[in-house]
């Protein structure tokens, strides 16, 4: 999170469910603490990699509208965050 803040990001959206990829992965609460320590806004919007519902897309769109920019959204590979972004921009 410190590197994201140093790169100029002001907000982070985490699209990964907790422990996706196994128990060695950090939970949202740990990521949030690191984000806050780095001076970033943080939101957790966990979504499945296979399907993003209309409600999840709308929620992502609201986060894009409300959070300070630039925003870093992430998931395991980047694909689901990219899909969410593309779909939310079409609303």
62 and 34 Cβ atoms separated by less than 8 Å: no
Select 2-89's CATH number: 3.90.190.10, 3.30.1330.20, 1.25.40.10, 3.40.50.620. 3.90.190.10
DSSP per-residue string spanning 35-58: HHHTT-EEEE----SS---HHHHH
Task: Identify the pLDDT of residue 6.
Answer: 98
> To the nearest 5 percent, what fractions of the chain are helix, strand and coil?
45, 15, 45
Cα→Cα distances 33→15, 21, 55, 82, Å: 16, 20, 26, 24
- What per-residue confidence (pLDDT) applies to 91? 87
Give per-10-residue mean pLDDT for the chain (91 aa): 98 96 94 98 95 97 98 96 97 87
Number of neighbours of residue 44 by Cβ within 10 angstroms: 16
Query: How high is the pLDDT of residue 11?
Result: 98
């Amino acid at each position: 999170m410190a590197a994201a803040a140093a790169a100029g990001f002001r907000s982070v959206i985490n699209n990964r469910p907790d422990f996706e990829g196994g128990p060695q992965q950090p939970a949202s609460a740990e990521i949030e603490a690191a984000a806050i320590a780095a001076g970033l806004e943080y939101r957790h919007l966990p979504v499945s990699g296979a399907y993003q519902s209309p409600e999840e897309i709308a929620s992502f769109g609201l986060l894009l509208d409300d959070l300070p920019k630039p925003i870093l959204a992430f998931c395991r590979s980047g694909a689901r965050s990219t899909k969410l972004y593309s779909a939310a921009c079409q609303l």
